Structure 1
Amino acid sequence: MFLCGTFLQFLFCIPTVSLAENSVANANSCGQITAPLTPEEKTYASAAWQYFVNNYQANTGFTNSTNNYPSGTLWDIGNYLMALNAVRWLDLIKQSEFDSRLNKFLTNFANLKLFENALPNKVYNAANGQMTDYGNKPVEKGLGWSALDVGRILAAFHIIRTCHPQYKEWLNGIIAKWQVARSLKDDQLYGAAVLPDGKTLLVQEGRLGYEEYAARGYELWGFKAPKALALEPFKFVEVNGVQIPVDTRDYQTTNANNYVVSESYILDGIEFGLEGYLKVYAANLLEAQKRRFESTGQLTAVSEDNLDQPPYFIYNTVYSNGVAWAAITEKNVAKPEFRNISTKAAFGWRYLYPDNPYAQKIFDAVKDLREPKGGGFYAGLYEETKQTNKSLTGNTNGLIMEILYYKARGNRPLIGGSGVSFAKMPSGGKSTPAQSNSPDATSKAPAQNPPPSSSTKNPPQNPPPSSSTKNPAQNPPASSTSTAQVNQPSSSPALKITPISPVGTPQAPPKLPNPLTVVQRRYAQAAWNYFQANSQSATGLISDRSDVKGATLWGLGDYLAALNAAWALEIISPKEFDSRTRQLLGALAQIPLFAGELPSRGYDPQTLQPVDYGGNPVPEGTGWSGLDVGRLLAALYSLKTDHPEYAEAIDRIVLDWSYLRVVRDGILFSATVIKDKNERSLPRVNPETRLGYEEYAARAFQLWGFDIDKSAVGGKYKTASVEGVEVPIERIRTDTKSKVNQYTVSNPFLLYALEFGLDPQMRSLFTAIYQAQAQRYRHTETLTASATTLIERQPYTIHSSIIAQNQPWMALGDDGQPLPEGRLVSSAVAFAYYALLPEDSYTQELIKAITDLYNPLLGFYEGFYEKTGKTALGSTSSTNSMILQSLLYTATKQQPLIRPNTAMNSPWWQAITQSDSGRGLPNTASQKSQFVNNSPKNYWITVKDGNQP
């Protein structure tokens, strides 16, 4: 069977290809469906494909860019090819239908008139193949070409020739007719535009995001554009506390928009994989949208989209032309009333980050936005009116088809990164996503606002023009154009904290005996960037975890320890250290106290109002934690020791607190709140008995002179055999019958060792805990770094224990339920063990496995799952603080980070000497000598290859 045509230079007629004539093994990689669609996902795919069925032009084999409107941009022609490939491998159409459609398409596409006989015009009439303008009016000369659209269709052609090699030579023949080199100049992409006098103007095309994506399409066919693949020129701008990369070539200087949207990053992710910088920048983009939701309650998923009313097309951006959350037209006219929750963006983020709760939330808001008769997905939901944007487009539905195919492939990129280039991550730049690693924080799921509902009102849909090119070439100089700006939505008012008064000129840190290597400095900078990312500028507080807006006393202790380490390692300047310290101390002096005694368990970092562990407001507070107070006391003690200029302010803060119930009869206590049947809040005070955490907090109280010997390290411990090692599981005691969910993890013992050093009994506990993990690796080759860690999905907290409930290597949730697949290898624990035991062969294995688990702009992730090796994407202050402390410990040649302080003339010690004054202060300053006399300097252990000395 033959169809006449002239697309090949050496043939006048070409054969129609069918599977029967060119047999292709169905078992190629394109057909490897390792994660079949669920019934719901099959419904989504069928609806998205039906759009193309409904908008198919039988005369040409093309499809409409928008519903019932016979216009097609080159970009949208690429969308159709991507959808056609996806629907075949998802087995929603037969091979015969695929061949019929593709044969018709290629036959007519090969015969399209090219702009200046060089490259496809920007837009064609889908019904007859004529060159048109964007209003679908015939244009004899054409509009020019878009290099970005060419890059898009080159990527689509590559997928077709790879997944359906029987069409390879046909596609090669089509590309052979094009003068692709005309769209490349100075190693960049160049589009063509027609001036009013009819002359053709070549203009550099592309801005950060789409430019790199399109250049990779060119690379697949052997055309290089290295400057287009480079990230420069760009800068970072802060949007909702997140550092976003933005092209510096904005509308004001180049007459072309530099918008930052979701789609280019989603396309790169599902087609080429989130390689290199894309892994960071895509995560940042999603994080900024999540934070806008957290601060405004408005679900946010922005990208460019068609509209069902004038102006018919809008760029909903994270940032554009100097404005955050700008919603603009091609001419940079602000149209904030048309900001969308974009269906395609929500689908993309959901399947690129399947474990991200916010991605699931925006997906849930749009997943049912389908045309009632199943004719495709609507473009989205208007933010302002909550009505459905009923525009139906090939862009939305084609991308959804690609995304579902990506999912069915087991989240394997459709093309992959082996044949293309990715720019290196540039040095510098900060970022920001937003945790509670308090040992007694239950870390509930973040509070969730209900998503906006779609309206049933159906406004009349006017015939829309075809969708615009993704990032058009720089337009010829135009007359004055509106540059009205969109104001960023205001968040709930934050409390403005007045820092404590200046205490003198900020001091530079002393020289370290063992300065960081270049690699170690990179790790330290990444860990510090967590605190940069999650800082509330108005209050100085840091969220404990990146996915919950809340700060605990334990988390603030982590922050202070990290702040001091960053100063000592010269990651931040003395001026920044002083500014942050004075603001945090100002906030601590102002936070509400539970029952007028001690700081509550959690605070909103914007308002300083008490919240529960899910970030939900609890005006009366939720009690106080003796463990958390101990963590902060240790950090404050270290701060005033290393920086005595802050000592008076620190002592004034802790003198406001009452210790009458937190330390009694030598035991550490905590307070919780329960509700009776009448919904009254009833505080209850119980002893703290959590192994390791109790000992750590007690040591911190001892620094301040408290007699707390029954909670400090001492006495006898019950043990159990794990891997042939007697591991402590709880303290044997007669002073309380209190029972808690006991589990043995590394965190508190490592913190104790880093900060206080190891006295003989703590050394024996520490060594047993470490040896059990090292022996497990030797017996099973399973890397083990047992810790309490946080993740971004249920159950949100995982205790990867050494032993719990008399079972070794059990993972538990906060509710005590086993999580057999949940065990994590902790990033922080790996760093700490390596810092403490750098010559040990097992710690060397641990550190090699963990050092790439970070986002340079957002900090270290919690770790990776033992069974799968998959990264646990949560980030916390606790993990990043311990990593910084571990690096500082290494730089100080393994000296404990908290040094004894013999100064007795500060307000705290003066108050103790004068009287108790009803606050439960220590009875005598004699306790002060405890820490000095028991200095661990003579007790440091050396462990080689896991053998106890």
Structure 2
Amino acid sequence: MSFKNELLEMRSQIAVILGLITTGIIIFFLTDLSYLQTERIVTGTSSEGKAVPAITFTADIPFAERRNLTADEIKMAKTAWTYFENNWNSETGLADSVSGFHFTTLWDTSSYLLGLISAHKLEIISDDNFHNRMTKALDSLAKIPLYNDELPNKAYDTKSLSMTDYQNKPSDTGTGWSAIDIGRLFVPFNVIMYEYSQYTPKVREIISRWDFSRMFINGQLFGVTYKNGIEQLNQEGRLGYEEYVSKSFALLGFDISEAYNYLDHTGLVEIEGVEVPVDIRSSARFGAHTYALSEPYILDGLEFGWDYFSNEFSYRIYLAQEKRWENTGILTAVTETALNEDPFFTYNTVFGEGKPWACLTSEGLESSKWRTLSTKAIFGWNSLYDTEYTEMLLEKTLQLATDKNGFYAGTYESDGRINSVTTCNTNGVILEALCYRKFGPFLRIQGKGNNK
């Protein structure tokens, strides 16, 4: 093959590499450079001119090393994959978000696609199976109906591809779009374009249908909620989630300059002796609940390999959970999760709505009885950090494997009952975590001395 032809074959990879370089430049200029001082102290000012607390960065974080999977870990990966063997719709190529519930969001679809890629990289599915599934999923994403002919709806039926509400009731109008969910979908899109360039034209076809003019405004992310004939356009994203999805948008050239600013709305709250980063925007004033929990930080590590700030913030979120166990004897790994009983979904937080260890619904209802030890959080932290605590947590997942639907979502803290719901997100994240254990993050070029 001539050099010219080789260059043409590599054009999508080159585009992604240039995107990564561009993202690095954006991150560099958005980051307060005072961390270059010997003391490793950072200060900042919010958009309202308020000073944010100084942050002393941790010198020695116990990162886990890359290595081959053990026989037990390969078995775990195969167990997680059974969820997608038994909860996949062959007509559309999409996976159900919860076993037996023919429904998905873009967040869940992203977990499936990244789980699919992980299974392929770990060689637990064949090339033919991988390409059949990837082709069908992308073909469906290219023809799903869009909310207001703008952007993907918040939820879809995985059999019919029709827009639905969160109860999977068909909706001709749709219920709006989530910038955070769309940003998560751009993670597998970026991975696909970089590692499976034959699908780049299909990804371009999917995205070219979408109108982003109302989603990106002055460097911020906006989402739409449509209910009872009324549409609301609101700024979307809080600390952790906002910065995480901004990275995938930046790789495709979108302006996320405000959304990516870690210090703009950040405060520190002492929890279990750890100063935990929290979003200082109140729900009463800004119209959205704030959750400091594991999910966005784990995904940032598994998929991007963290940046300077998320590296520190992630470790503090993790460490507060380890310290809670040391202080109380209660094993803790909290994040957003589906439940097998009412209210069926909750945000189990390190800090939420002004309270440590709050368990909240998206409507703001709270109850400690919803707190669970999360399976996906355990796998995520165990692959990211090498500590006795993460190993202790992993032992607790052995009872949570099923024969046909992967891993259960976790166990209830109050009485040890199994949270016996099996989900796309839990099993997709498990596959990501095990893939990271061997290969490192999806969207970071690995080299000598770059092992996190």
With normalisation by structure 1, the TM-score equals 0.40
CA contact (8 A) 2:175 2:225 kept: yes
8 Å Cα contact 1:252-1:321 kept in structure 2:
no
Q: After superposition, where does 1:707-856 map in structure 2 within 5 Å?
A: none
CA contact (8 A) 1:251 1:332 kept: no
Q: Any gaps of 5 or more consecutive residues in structure 2?
A: 1-7, 11-65
Aligned counterparts, 1:608-757, within 5 A:
none
Name the amino acid aligned to 1:233: H
**1:578-593 matched pairs, under 5 angstroms:** none
The yes-or-no answer on 1:67 pairing with 2:99 is: yes
Q: Say which of 121, 135, 152 aligns to 1:89.
A: 121
Q: Mapping of 1:365-444 within 5 angstroms?
A: 365-371=396-402, 373-409=403-439, 412-416=440-444
**Structure 2 counterpart of 1:48:** 80
SS at match of 1:226: coil
Q: In 1, Cα distance between the equivalents of 2:250 and 2:134? A: 24
Question: Structure 2: how far apart are the matches of 1:37 and 1:161?
Answer: 26
Q: Distance in 2 between matches of 1:337 and 1:317?
A: 13
Aligned to 2:299: 267
* 1:109 and 2:141 matched: yes
Q: Which has the larger radius of gyration?
A: 1
Displacement of 1:224 in angstroms is 1.6
Q: 1:71 offset after TM fit, Å? A: 0.4
C-alpha separation in 2, matches of 1:162 and 1:327: 38
* Structure 1 unaligned regions, length at least 5: 1-21, 25-33, 419-867, 874-949
Deviation per residue, 1:89-138 (Å, 9 max, x gap): 11111111111111111222211001111110000001110000000001
Q: C-alpha distance in 1, partners of 2:233/2:249?
A: 18
Query: Are 1:248 and 2:280 counterparts?
Result: yes
Q: How many residues align?
A: 389
In the alignment, what sits opposite 1:279? Answer: 311
Q: CA deviation at 1:180?
A: 2.2
Q: Does the aligned pair in 1 maintain the 2:99–2:405 contact within 8 Å? A: no
- The Cα of 1:274 is off from its aligned counterpart by 2.3
State the match for 1:172 in structure 2.
Answer: 204
For the pair 1:186 / 2:214, whether they are aligned, the reply is no
Give yes or no for contact 1:272–1:417 (8 Å, CA) kept in 2.
no
What RMSD in Å do the two structures reach over aligned CA positions?
2.1
Aligned match of 1:119: 151
Does 2:233 align with 1:202? yes
Matched, 1:302 2:334: yes
Deviation digits for residues 10-59 of structure 1, max 9, x if unmatched?
Answer: xxxxxxxxxxxx999xxxxxxxxx73321101111111111011101122
Question: How many Å separate the matches in 2 of 1:368 and 1:44?
Answer: 12
Tell me how far apart the structure 2 counterparts of residues 333 and 417 of structure 1 sit (CA, whole Å): 42
Given the alignment, which residue of 214, 237, 260 partners 2:245?
214
2:293–2:334 contact (8 Å) kept in structure 1: yes
Per the TM alignment, residue 181 of structure 1 is displaced from its structure 2 partner at its CA by 3.1
Structure 1: which amino acid aligns with 2:426? Answer: T
The aligned counterpart of 1:230 is 261
Q: Does 1:154 align with 2:182?
A: no
Q: Distance in 2 between matches of 1:53 and 1:374?
A: 8
Q: Which residue of 1 is the match for residue 367 of structure 2?
A: 335
Shift of 1:270: 0.9
Of all paired residues, the percent bearing the same amino acid is 38
Tell me if the contact between 2:67 and 2:437 (Cα under 8 Å) persists in the aligned partners: yes
3-state SS of 1:227 partner: coil
The residue matched to 1:237 in structure 2 has which SS? Answer: strand
The alpha-carbon deviation at position 378 of structure 1 amounts to 0.6
Equivalents in 2 of 1:90, 1:870: separation in Å?
21
Q: In structure 2, how many angstroms separate the alpha carbons of the residues matched to 1:212 and 1:273?
A: 13
Give the residue type in structure 2 aligned to 1:38: T
Instruction: Determine if the alignment matches structure 1 residue 145 to structure 2 residue 177.
Output: yes
Query: Take 2:227 and 2:102, find their aligned partners in 1: how far apart are those partners?
Result: 26
Equivalent position of 1:38 in the other structure: 70
CA-CA distance at 1:78 after TM superposition? 0.7
Question: Which structure has more helix as a fraction of its residues?
Answer: 2
1:408 to partner: Cα distance:
1.5
User: Residue deviations 1:445-486, cap 9 Å, x none?
Assistant: xxxxxxxxxxxxxxxxxxxxxxxxxxxxxxxxxxxxxxxxxx
- Residues 752-777 of structure 1: CA distance to partner in whole angstroms, max 9, x if unpaired? xxxxxxxxxxxxxxxxxxxxxxxxxx
Structure 1 residue 374 displacement after superposition: 4.2
What secondary structure, in the 3-state scheme, does the structure 2 residue paired with 1:228 have? coil
- Provide the rounded CA distance (Å) in 2 between the counterparts of 1:139 and 1:417: 42
Give 1:217 deviation, angstroms: 1.4
In 1, distance between residues paired with 2:208 and 2:348? 37
Q: Offset of 1:65 from its aligned partner?
A: 0.3
Structure with bigger RCO (C-alpha 8 Å, 6+ apart)? 2
Structure 1 residue runs of 4+, over 3 Å off? 868-871
Alpha-carbon distance in structure 1 between the residues aligned to 2:186 and 2:295? 18
What letter corresponds to residue 288 of structure 2 in structure 1?
Answer: A
Other structure's SS at 2:292 match: coil
CA contact (8 A) 1:327 1:336 kept: yes
